[in-house]
Amino acid sequence: METKQSELPNLSELKKVAELLSRSQNTVVLAGAGMSKESGIPTFRGEGGLWTINGEPPLNQYEIFLDNPKQWWTEKFTPTNTDSFATALDQSKPNQGHYALVQLEQLGIISHLITQNVDDLHRQAGQISITEIHGNRYWIRCITCNSRWPKKSITIQQDLLPPICELCNGILKSDTVMFGEPIPPNLLETCHSATQKADLFLTIGTSAIVYPAAQFPIMALEKGIPLIEINPETTPLSEFALISLKGPSGKILPEIIKLISEIHTRKV
């Protein structure tokens, strides 16, 4: 389908970003919920976001889990109401933006992708070097040793809840990071060291106000690493970005790929 020109930033800005990316060998990306909007998954914040409409959920989800993990798991096995967000996640497929990021990784431009999304779509598209900083909805994690497994690979016995880690006897929970739950330190360390080595930083579809994820573009800026942003709305990072491309990532990223291939063709 042809992209409407009005959805895209002007061509000279897109060309500048394509030039910057084509010279980079170490771009680090921070992706957020906006990245998956064109896969049919609503965002939380921003125009039409679930929290913009319904308000924010309770902030002590992890405390509730720790108080009674058995109860939490029992409820998991007996869902009482249909959750439209879960349905959207389960029915989603990667969009053109996800595939464009895979191409940028294969071209040796993107070295690491930090995603706040739990939807698995970067993996499904084929991205290799990823940190899922808020977890993956299709994985399970031990809260003691932080080992992770795809849900499909383990059997949870409903008469023995909560499930226990075979490696350390810790309690297992869904890998998705709950409100009030610390992010596993090993993940933060990976994001930190990737950012330290970056020569370009790209934020896509994130309101950039959820910490600690939002600290990585700030860290990059403090190191003098140029920041590029893709988001239809202005964020707290927009004024610091070298270029802020206003529009949907599923449309903008494939256009950038086209421009990068033109640059490569000119060079041969």
Residues annotated catalytic, as ranges: 134
* Residue 226 interacts with, from Zn ion, ligand NAD, none (CB under 5-8 Å by kind): none
What φ, ψ does residue 250 adopt, rounded to 5°?
-65, -20
Binding mask 13-52 for ligand NAD (x = CB under 6 A): -------------------xxx-xxx--x-xxxx--x---
Structure token digits, residue 215: 């600290």
User: In this complex, which beta carbon is closest to ligand NAD, that of residue 199 or of residue 232?
Assistant: 232
The reply to whether 217 sits near ligand NAD by the rule CB under 6 A is no
Binding mask 112-151 for Zn ion (x = CB under 5 A): ------------------------------x-xx------
Work out the angle at residue 90's Cα, subtended by the Cα atoms of residues 86 and 96, and round it to the nearest 5 degrees.
115
Work out the angle at residue 30's Cα, subtended by the Cα atoms of residues 25 and 32, and round it to the nearest 5 degrees.
145
Q: For 79, how many CA atoms within 13 A lie in the half-sphere containing its CB?
A: 6
Using alpha carbons, list the distances in angstroms from residue 120 to 124, 217, 263.
6, 22, 31
Across the strands, what pairs with 173?
A: 141
Strand, helix or coil for residue 142:
strand
Site for ligand NAD in 80-139 (CB under 6 A): 116-119, 134
Interface with Zn ion by CB under 5 A: which residues?
142, 144-145, 165, 167-168, 170
Interface with ligand NAD by CB under 6 A: which residues?
32-34, 36-38, 41, 43-46, 49, 116-119, 134, 205-207, 210, 230-233, 235, 248-250
